[in-house]
């Protein structure tokens, strides 16, 4: 009896797929170059920086100690946008 099983593919990656997308948490170099954190940043500046950072990059999470303030600032921004659009 003849064995007519199809032979397994010899080459698995002969296709021209693009490389897989970079990981979501990969560092956004361009953003970091455009937004250096000031060496003597005030707490408020750090909160603003981390808010922008979490939206643009997210290579590392904001420090837990700043998280409540970052959330507050984010909410204020959202309210300001909604209220300011009508003026």
Cβ 38 to Zn ion shortest distance, Å: 16
Quick check: 59 binds Zn ion (CB under 5 A)? yes
Q: How far, in Å, are 10, 26, 28, 60, 83 from residue 54 at the CA level?
A: 44, 12, 11, 8, 23
Quick check: 56 binds Zn ion (CB under 5 A)? no
CB 29 within 8 A of CB 53: no
Cβ-based neighbours of 6, under 8 Å, separated by 6 or more: none
Cβ 11 to Zn ion shortest distance, Å: 38
Residue selected from 52, 54, 57, 74 as contacting Zn ion according to rule CB under 5 A: 57
The piece of 6-14, 16-24, 35-43, 50-58 that touches Zn ion (CB under 5 A) is 50-58
Query: Which residues of the shown chain bind Zn ion in the complex (CB under 5 A)?
Result: 57, 59
């Amino acid at each position: 009896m003849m064995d007519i099983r199809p032979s397994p593919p010899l080459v698995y990656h002969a296709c021209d797929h693009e490389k897989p997308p970079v990981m979501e948490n990969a560092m956004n170099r361009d953003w970091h170059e455009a937004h250096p954190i000031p060496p003597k940043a005030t707490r408020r500046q750090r909160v603003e920086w981390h808010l922008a950072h979490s939206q643009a990059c997210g290579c590392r999470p904001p420090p837990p100690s700043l998280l409540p303030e970052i959330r507050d600032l984010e909410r204020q921004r959202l309210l300001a946008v909604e209220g300011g659009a009508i003026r």
